[in-house]
Amino acid sequence: TSGDYRYTLQPDGTAAIAKYTGSASELSIPDTLDGHAVTAIGDGAFFFSRFLMSVTIPNSVTFIGDLAFASCDSLTSISIPDSVTTIGDNAFSWCNSLTSVTISDGVIEMDGNPFRGCDNLTQIMVSPDNPVFETIDGVLFNKSEKKLVCYPYAFTQTSYTIPDGIRFIGNGAFVSCRSLTSVTIPDSVTVIGDNAFEYCNSLTNITIPDSVTSIGKNAFDSCNSLTSISIPDGVTSIGKNAFDSCNSLTSISIPDGVTSIGNGAFFSCHSLAGISIPESVTTIGDYAFYFCNSLTSISIPDGVTSIGNGAFDSCNSLTSISIPDGVTDMGNNPFAGCKNLTRIIVSPDHPVFATIDGVLFNKSEKKLVCYPYAFTQTSYTIPDGIRSIGDRAFSSCNVLTSIVIPNSVTSIGNSAFEYCKSLTSISIPNGVTSIGKSAFYFCESLTSITIPDSVTSIGDSAFSWCESLTSITIPDSVTSIGNSAFASCRSLTSVTIPDSVTSIGNSAFAFCRSLTSISIPDSVTSIGDGAFWGCESLASISIPDGVTSIGDEAFSSCKSLTSISIPESVTSIGKYAFAKCSESLTLTVVRNSWAARWCKENGMNYTYTDALDWLKQ
């Protein structure tokens, strides 16, 4: 540390600024720190320095890192010296007060778009002697790569034609250019980079030429006005989230050359009513068509071998779907939350998947994959022989009130019964060893549940928001209670934690407002952040001798808590651990212990465990 700067020494003995901690509005960065020449401004060094209005960089600096001045939204001017050769990706992103930038002839390398999201940037000037970069009509290009680097965000024209000869549209080149309604791409372009047109909210018309072979991730993310698009034949893959949240997109043409549809490629395209997937496609990524509300039907071609997690999740107009024989790999319930899905069609000759009474199973894994959301029966018995209930298998099946799980089941997956809001009873068999995270999340009608002795782990948020759950017994086999495991179980009045448990996770019992008492066993060594936050009825609690740490806000807003005993083993108490508790809260501590010193330093009410020993003498 040197003054307001934290820096790291580089192999050549020069300094790279790691963090600026000052609050100057006009700043001249020093050329040396503790005798070391400053040659680099590291990644995020001035990130979110909102007070900075102007910065002068010394001639010793050659490198400006990624996000170096990102979100400096008061920055109106910056002087970049000729010594700088490299400017990192997003180096000046959301610098909203920056109106003009001058790039010296020394800059020869620029990662991505350093000026992404500078909402008021109207002018980019480049030294005429710069060997690499140049502007044409105010737009920044890389001459050597023939790449469009940055279209200034404050330009007001509604249409733009990219010069013929440009090969690449760089990462984030047009991001947040909200005035543009149309862009003409020449036949010379082969690559549309990541985030290239992200948040171009007014863009209604764009033609992608046949020369393009690659569309990057998030390339057209949140282009809300785009109604249709044709993908050229040369494209072989559609990048991750390429058309995410294109809410007005009603149709799209995917060419025969495409072999994979990336994760979230058409995520939340609410208006997309129909799409034809070509025979060339072999992979449909995770959440590829998530929340495509208007999608009424889709034909999965025979060439597809893999369907990702939640690929058609929440496609609420989808009533039936056919799974071809070629599909051998299927992620977590691809059809979770499809409110009108009543029919899943699988060939009787399918090598991996089968349906029993309309419910989808993985034969080879003996796993229940998907219980159709629109089924109207109120109870269901899982066939004997099934070993696992897959992730999100019954997600949002609101009609079900009871489910019978056979003894053959050993695993209940993540979010398996989440949002089953009518589920009142369920019996977990003795063979189950793990309850996945969010397994019973928001099962608000569930009044009681018995966890068998075979269970060793309860996942994060496993029973969170089970608002009708009044009591629960945790078996001796459980060693840890996950983060938010019982958070917001507002009717839970008591719980017994067995001696086998060694840790209570973050927010494990947060907002259990009816919880009046809890016994923490000697085996527990750590109580996580916010573990009992908002347990308003909890009046007293004893922390066992083995506990060494109490997390941040562990007992915050426990308004009825008047006494708590802190053992000598505790050596760490987090911030606001007892904030907003009763004003009469008194901690009982061991004389000369770490906790006793902590109470003195933090002005807590306390008493000693031996305070009344004199009466016994």
Give me the pLDDT at residue 430, please.
92
Which strand (E) or helix (H) includes residue 595?
helix 594-602
Give the pLDDT score at 3.
Answer: 95
pLDDT of residue 519: 84
Residue in 231, 236, 228, 179 with CA at minimum distance from that of residue 210: 231
Q: How far is CA 1 from CA 16, 70, 123, in A?
A: 12, 22, 36
- Where on the phi/psi map is residue 38: left (φ > 0), alpha (ψ -120 to 50), or beta? beta
pLDDT for residue 615: 67
**Contact between 63 and 85 (Cβ < 8 Å):** yes
Answer yes or no: are the C-beta atoms of 99 and 123 closer than 8 Å: yes
Contact 423, 361 (CB under 8 A): no
Supply the pLDDT for residue 352: 97
Supply the pLDDT for residue 616: 64
Contacts of 327 (CB under 8 A, 6+ apart): 300, 304, 305, 306, 307, 352, 353
Residue 583 contacts by C-beta under 8 Å, 6 or more apart in sequence?
none
Which residues does the chain have with pLDDT short of 50? none
The span from the CA of 35 to the CA of 442, in Å, is 60
3-state secondary structure of 594: helix
Please give the Cα distance from 463 to 228 (Å, whole number).
Answer: 43
Any idea which residue has 């990057």 for tokens? 216
Which residues have a Cβ under 8 Å from the Cβ of 4 and sit 6 or more positions away? 20, 21, 22, 24
Cβ atoms of 229 and 209 within 8 Å: the answer is no
Instruction: Specify the DSSP element, H or E, that contains 9.
Output: strand 5-9
Q: What is the per-residue pLDDT for 613?
A: 67
Kind of pairing, strands 205-207 and 182-184? parallel
Q: Write down the pLDDT at residue 610.
A: 83
Looking at residue 109, what DSSP letter applies?
E
Report CA 277 to chain centroid distance, whole Å: 28
The pLDDT score that the predictor gives to residue 617 is 59
Encode 271-295 in three state secondary structure.
CCCCCECCCCCCEECCCCCCCCCCC
C-beta separation of 480 from 455 below 8 A: no
| Three-state SS at 326 | coil
CA dist., res. 523 & res. 545, Å (int): 9
* Tokens matching residue 304: 């597809």
Q: Which residues contact 71 (CB under 8 A, 6 or more apart)?
A: 47, 48, 50, 93, 94, 95
Identity at 482, one-letter amino acid code: G
pTM of structure: 0.85
Q: In the prediction, which pLDDT does 5 show?
A: 97
Residue by residue, DSSP assigns 335-376 as TTT-TT--EEEE-TT-SSEEEETTEEEETTTTEEEE--TT--
